Amino acid sequence: MSIQHVPENLPKRIQHFIGGEFVDSLDGDTFEVLDPVSNQTYLEASAGKQADIDRAVAVAHQAFEEGPWPGMLPRERARILNRIADIVETRNERLAELETFDTGLPITQALGQAKRAAENFRFFADLIVAQADDTYKVPGKQINYVNRKPKGVAGLITPWNTPFMLESWKLAPALASGCTVVLKPAEFTPLSAGLWPEIFREAGVPDGVFNIVHGYGEQAGDALVKHENVRLISFTGESATGSLIFANAAPTLKGLSMELGGKSPAVVFADADLDAAIDSTVFGVFSLNGERCTAGSRILVERGVYDEFVRRYVERAKNIKVGDPHDPATEIGALVHPEHYAKVTEYIEIGKTEATLAAGGGRPAGSESGNYVQPTVFVDVPPTARIFQEEIFGPVVAITPFDTDEEALRLANDVKYGLAAYVWTTNLERAHNFGQRVDAGMVWLNSHNVRDLRTPFGGVKASGLGHEGGYRSLDFYSDQQAMHISLAPAHTPKFGA
Ligand code: NAD
């Protein structure tokens, strides 16, 4: 685990990208970026502040007011978006090695992120070309139609897990809608965002339409949220940060899309296909290092199969290969940052006082450095436990037995979050009835998180507000102006006549 793979041609530093140029912060300030295997600083990134955000928003605002982008025919914009998708796919290997180096994601899971990012651009390119807006007839009196227009400058604030792919999830609909953007990537993982400028330039995105300001959330992110010329914020991150952004956006009345944290249940009934349920629930929490918003991190198992499920699950967890993120055999790499490592391992210590530790429980043998954590399984976890209630965002799972459907539902809904849920049963009626009653924005029956880009994406309760996905994303980035046309004189009361 001590061998450190460093990608060739790493940039010397990471700068903002504003108006088609790479620039330093106006005050020259930088912050250090670590890699999660050595935990050493491998480069400095520009630390954006209010002045840098002002500069980027001014450029984006000008590109919106004067530039061709918002007024282009959908087909023209779609062509550019499709070119972006094609170019993104050609960067798959480079993206994977950068992402693996910067985030600690296993290389086999980082490969393929470019395809997912490209799909986001292709999907929204198709959608804007096929877009039809509503028209309403009032026979003999009026025709009313919707004039859809891009909102303006969009502020995009993204987290450190699968950073490039999550950036694409916001960039694609924002640009497809005709908005101009300022992206503030996560400070833990700014490396892969550096691929966008060249991709966009090559695809023909005009300068000023796409801008990046790096920096800390409390500085660059905060200034973006509070800027009066930013019409909306699409945010993905922790629920607590989401609440703060909500409050900070209030004085400038911004549109807000909030994709927040989760503590999603996977509910396994005794009639489930246990082989498939075990494969899926192991993958559902331990893939992406467990740093996954939709992780099924609470597994509720019906008593009749509980012992067998736990025995087999624990066996599998103990077999998972933790190690060098660049090794193709690795299934769990290094957690993103020592601060996050400290948080996850603290939860593991808390868990040891709250439930029975059945697998893992700390650093794997032989790893003296790097943010490595064993896949950790707690069983017989009471719903009052903090490891049942709070998002850990690492390779840690809580397993709890239940006796009846009602009890399973109570347990599933007994947390503040409501992002995803997974239901395992071969009983069709139960699958639908139970799934529909779970407090979750997204439910998968007999599956883990397999996305259909047309469906709503987002959470309920503390997991988010405002669902994106399909046309919902375009609606978020657009104003829908109502245009009313009279076909006959309107009745007008004659005041003062
Ligand atoms: P975070 O909330 O700490 O940071 C997210 C982003 O917000 C970063 O770019 C950060 O710099 C910025 N930020 C922080 N404070 C800010 C402020 N005051 N104003 C403006 N911006 C600010 O989250 P994280 O630790 O980077 O990401 C992990 C979290 O993201 C987890 O809770 C996870 O569940 C969530 N997540 C949710 C989804 C989803 O779709 N629901 C997807 C991925 C991750």
SS (HEC) of 70-95: HHCCHHHHHHHHHHHHHHHHHCHHHH
pLDDT at 1: 46
In the predicted structure, residue 366 carries a pLDDT above the cut 70: yes
465-476: per-residue pLDDT in tens? Answer: 999 999 999 999
Q: What residues contact residue 240 under an 8 Å CB cut-off, 6+ apart? A: none
Assigned domain for 5 exists: no
Assigned domain for 407 exists: yes
Cα–Cα–Cα angle for 395, 454, 112, nearest 5°?
45
Half-sphere exposure (Cβ direction) of 119: Cα atoms closer than 13 Å = 13
* pLDDT (mean) for 43-66: 98
* pLDDT (mean) for 170-176: 98
**Confidence grade of residue 3 (pLDDT, cut at 50, 70, 90):** low
Q: Domain count for the chain, please give it.
A: 2
339 ligand 1 Cβ < 6 A: no
**Confidence grade of residue 322 (pLDDT, cut at 50, 70, 90):** very high
414-458: per-residue pLDDT in tens? Answer: 999 999 999 999 999 999 999 999 999 999 999 999 999 999 999
* pLDDT (mean) for 56-77: 97
**Confidence grade of residue 40 (pLDDT, cut at 50, 70, 90):** very high
SS (H, E, C) 390-419: CCCCCCEEEEEEECCHHHHHHHHHCCCCCC
Considering only CA atoms, which of 73, 17, 16, 7 is closest in space to residue 37? 7
| Interstrand relation of 135-138 and 464-465 (parallel, antiparallel or unpaired) | unpaired
Active-site residue (options: 97, 167, 259, 331): 259
Q: Say yes or no: 158 and 251 in one domain.
A: yes
Q: In angstroms, what is the span from residue 189 Cα to ligand 1's centroid?
A: 12
76-100: per-residue pLDDT in tens? Answer: 999 999 999 999 999 999 999 999 9
* pLDDT (mean) for 358-383: 96
259 ligand 1 Cβ < 6 A: yes
* pLDDT (mean) for 263-282: 98
222 ligand 1 Cβ < 6 A: yes
157 ligand 1 Cβ < 6 A: yes
* pLDDT (mean) for 102-113: 97
Q: In angstroms, what is the span from residue 359 Cα to ligand 1's centroid?
A: 29
Nearest CA residue ID for atom 12, ligand 1 = 217
Average pLDDT along the chain: 97
Kindly give the number of the ligand 1 atom that is closest to the alpha carbon of 216. Answer: 11
Q: Is 177 left (phi over 0), alpha (psi -120 to 50) or beta?
A: alpha
Q: Say yes or no: 217 and 188 in one domain.
A: yes
Assigned domain for 490 exists: no
* pLDDT (mean) for 137-159: 97
> pTM to 2 decimals?
0.97
Q: Say yes or no: 345 and 418 in one domain.
A: yes
Q: Say yes or no: 330 and 227 in one domain.
A: no
Alpha helices, H only, 273-337: 274-286, 303-319
Q: Say yes or no: 149 and 200 in one domain.
A: yes
pLDDT at 368: 86
291 ligand 1 Cβ < 6 A: no
